[in-house]
A and B are shown apart, each in its own frame.
Chain A
Amino acid sequence: MSRTVPVRLVRSGRDRTMVTPEGIPLPLTLASRGSRAGALILDLTFIGLLILGTTIALISIAGGTLNLLSRADDATPIGHALQFLFIVWVAAMFLFRNAYFLFFELGPRGATPGKRIAGIRVAARDGGRLTAEMVIARNLLRDIELFLPIVFLASAQDGGDMGAAGLAATAWFLIFALFPFFNRDRLRAGDLIAGSWVVEAPRQRLEQAMSARIAQDAAEPRPDIGFTDAELAVYGEYELQTLERILRENRRESLQAVHETIAGKIGRPADEHPDRAFLEAYYTQLRARLEAGMRMGRRKADKYVPNG
């Protein structure tokens, strides 16, 4: 979707409404499963790189000689140093596996680097504050959802026997991997336990108001097109927003097609004015009419709503 298209026009099954403590309903869009999977793959790649980097760094600190490790049991200074490095390595592995997600999801963005790239973040389902306990709970569950069956699968392969154990691990993995497909809010098991969900992080630039842009360009001579009330009464809010989108996208063919449709509908010749000038004038006046109606408590959702 292009950045210039207002998201309000796009309604999907992923839209949810959350009520803030101020009592304002805010629309949220759940993250798509694809972007979540992508974010996870990115994060796992980052973790893999961190592990690789740490391992290489520690090995090079150890003198670049792996065969020294055979003397790690010796009570010599070099033995102690190598032992220490090994402990650092074990601790680093544990932290990368378990604390990576915690650290980033507790940050101000509520997202790991992978999620940030995918444009999604973690939020509390109840509209309240996202707490440290929630983040811990949702990430502890990741262990059984993801790491455990993979480790199990790897060890099953080691034994050369991929029969029952391999099948069980695969089934286990699939149950949790497909969990988000079997509930309405696309929760994985960890989200269910923690009371969290993953939503799209909003990123909407403020576009200049269409009508204001038209008013500002007043230097450019434009025909003064007036529409009668009856001519404006045929359309509603939905058509207005579609027209706004068409004007913002500013593609010649669609402008022309829409101009012809509207002109045909209200019984005007389609070649009387340039496409854009006609549509801008119609947009401004239709919006003025509909907004005036709103202030009076009359709304017209689309063209099928009768005028009353």
Chain B
Amino acid sequence: MALFGLFGKETAARDQAIEHAALRSDRFRMEREGDWKRLEAIVREMERGRFRKLSDDDLLALPALYRTVASSLSIARETSLDAATLAYLEGLVQRAWFVVYGPRATLGSWFRRFLGGGFSASVRGIAADILIALAVMIAGTVVGWLLVANDAEWYHALVPPQFADARVPGASREALHATLFGNTGQGGLSVFAAYLFSNNAQVSILAFALGFAFGVPSLLLLVQNTATLGAMLWLFHDAGLGIDFAGWLSVHGTTELLAILLAGAAGLHIGRSMAFPGERSVMQAASEAGTRAAQVMAGVVLMLVIAAMLEGFARQLIDDTPGRFIVGGAMLAFWIAYLFAFRGNAGK
């Protein structure tokens, strides 16, 4: 115990106390109490987030102190019946364990790792679910189209009233054209974008969270949203504006639909892992899928921010179909490259 040499007088006094202690387990405790107190002081400062107050020596000593105190606990359990000491040691080891093995990443450092490959890695991890969700979305669009094509009354059932202002079956081509073009002078776009983002983000969080019920509600939500899309596609196609509508939609839609696709796939991933856990326990399967899907969802929220900005600004500022297709196509190409080709540093 070279460490104790540093404190001359104190050590002498303590040695005397140790000699006087009646029980061997008390002597054990007195010999080690200094280490315990030091670890407690370090842990207390770290719990309060006051890292600056800690010296480099303290930080370097933390892992060794943690192991020392942990071994003290193991010994005390076998040799001491002092309940107060045992409870204290258990509490201290647990607190130190939380500090040593606690969350290492702050929100900032996690975010950097996330952008640098964590996001795309987890997206590739749920590739199978993305394919299923994509099939469901395409099916939803087709169903929406076919339903409305057979009976225009379906339109009102599928399209929520806030979209069905001028955009109703039987509207003139001019009226529909006006909803797509000529909005460049409109003010309040940024407010609109912020509102859209907040709204869409809650919808996609819902699509993810519903995966908890074995993924079925996630898929239903995808079908419902894409059926709306299919119905509106039919409406504009019927008026000969199909291409223009696709361009209008593609500016933000390529980003937004991709985000919704990922959110639904993330929900499905959880549901599928819980329904078919394989060799793992259901709990374990759920938590593995859940943490991966949560990464994807963080990315989805980010994509929706971008989609809302595109929707609020770019779509109204670019007033011709080819320009809109270029922006939308470029975004789509970017996302596919980033999500499926970009490897980053996540694997390391």
Contact = CB atoms under 8 A, between A and B. Distances in A.
Contacts of A27: 90, 94
Given A129-B102, A137-B290, A144-B209, A9 B17 contact: no
Interface stretch (A38-46, A163-171, A206-214, A225-233): A206-214
B293 to A, nearest CB: 7
Interface stretch (A57-65, A255-263, A267-275, A285-293): A285-293
Interface stretch (B4-12, B189-197, B315-323): B189-197
Contacts, number: 240
**Residue with the greatest number of chain B CB neighbours at <10 A, chosen from A98, A110, A137, A294:** A137
B23 A287 contact: yes
Nearest to B74: A24
A211 B22 contact: yes
A83 B190 contact: yes
Interface stretch (A48-56, A71-79, A153-161): A71-79
B82 A211 contact: yes
A121 B198 CA distance: 29
Contacts of A135: 103
Given A108-B47, A109-B47, A287 B291 contact: no
Contacts of B103: 105-108, 110, 129-132, 135
B85 interface: yes
Given A22-B70, A291-B25, A132 B105 contact: yes
B70 A137 contact: no
Contact of A193 (B17, B23, B270, B295): B270
A47 interface: no
Interface in B182-224: 187-188, 190-191, 193-195, 197-198, 201-202, 205-206, 208-210, 212
Interface stretch (B130-138, B157-165, B280-288): B280-288
A286 B205 CA distance: 61
A149 B166 CA distance: 32
A2 interface: no
Contacts of B48: 108
Which size bracket describes the interface of A in this complex?
Answer: 35 or more
Contact of A241 (B81, B202, B205): B81
A284 interface: yes
A65 to B, nearest CB: 18
Contacts of B205: 98, 140, 143-144
A211 B84 CA distance: 11
Contacts of B105: 106, 131-132
B206 A148 contact: yes
B91 A203 contact: yes
A204 B23 contact: no
A63 to B, nearest CB: 17
Nearest to B30: A212
B22 A207 contact: no
B270 A287 contact: no
B194 A108 contact: no
Contacts of B87: 6-8, 204
Contacts of B86: 6, 8
B209 A26 contact: no
A297 to B, nearest CB: 10
A6 B80 CA distance: 14
Interface string B96-121: 01110111111100100000000000
Nearest to B287: A195
A291 B22 CA distance: 12
A248 interface: yes
B172 interface: no
A24 B70 contact: yes
Interface in B22-38: 22-26, 29-30, 33, 36-37
B198 A90 contact: yes
A106 B67 contact: no
Interface in B279-330: 283-284, 286-295, 297-298, 301
A204 B98 CA distance: 15
A132 B110 contact: yes
Given A74-B187, A75-B187, A206-B36, A108 B102 contact: yes
B348 interface: no
A234 interface: no
B20 interface: yes
B46 interface: yes
18 contacts: A6-B86, A20-B97, A84-B190, A98-B301, A105-B103, A109-B49, A130-B102, A131-B105, A133-B295, A136-B297, A144-B206, A148-B206, A206-B36, A210-B82, A211-B26, A214-B22, A216-B20, A287-B25
Interface of A: 6-9, 20-22, 24, 26-28, 72-75, 79, 83-84, 86-87, 90-91, 93-94, 98-99, 102-103, 105-110, 121, 123, 125, 128-137, 140-141, 143-144, 148, 189, 192-196, 201-207, 209-212, 214-216, 218, 237, 240-241, 244-245, 248, 284, 287-288, 290-291, 294-295
Interface of B: 17, 20-26, 29-30, 33, 36-37, 40, 46-49, 67, 70, 73-74, 78-88, 90-95, 97-99, 101-107, 110, 187-188, 190-191, 193-195, 197-198, 201-202, 205-206, 208-210, 212, 270, 283-284, 286-295, 297-298, 301
Given A9-B83, A195-B291, 16 more contacts: A7-B90, A73-B187, A75-B187, A108-B102, A129-B104, A134-B294, A137-B293, A143-B206, A194-B294, A195-B286, A212-B21, A237-B81, A240-B81, A291-B80, A291-B81, A294-B78
